[in-house]
């Protein structure tokens, strides 16, 4: 499994934010800077260990605002739900 790269969408596997989606903004000293655009904004990204996240979607373009991050995460969540629904025979 590859290490998350900037602009990948990841899900947290550990910590109080377990299960939440984040967008990787950068890598710094072997750790990831992640944002969700709501609780963790571009001005104050969270440091997260790469082993505590799983890639959900490959990277896209660099977010310019917190709104861009929220839109990317919402779209990724919607696509994942649709995909899971098809796997469960709903679609």
- Cβ proximity of 36 and 22 under 8 Å: yes
Q: What are the pLDDT digits (tens) for 22-66?
A: 999 999 999 999 999 999 999 999 999 999 999 999 977 889 999
pTM (global) more than 0.85: yes
**9-87 fold:** SH3 type barrels. (2.30.30)
Residue 84 has pLDDT above 80, yes or no: no
Sheet harboring 21-28: ordered strands across? 46-48, 31-35, 21-28, 9-12, 53-57
Rounded Cα distance between 29 and 13, Å, is 20
Q: Where are the domains of the chain?
A: 9-87
DSSP-assigned letter for residue 53: E
């Amino acid at each position: 499994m590859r290490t998350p790269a900037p602009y990948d969408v990841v899900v947290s596997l550990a910590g109080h934010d377990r299960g939440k989606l984040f967008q990787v903004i950068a890598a710094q000293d072997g750790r990831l800077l992640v944002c969700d655009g709501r609780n963790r904004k571009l001005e104050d990204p969270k440091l997260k260990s790469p082993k505590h996240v799983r890639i959900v979607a490959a990277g896209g373009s660099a977010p310019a605002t917190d709104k861009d991050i929220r839109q990317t995460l919402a779209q990724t969540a919607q696509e994942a739900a649709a995909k899971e629904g098809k796997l469960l025979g709903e679609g």
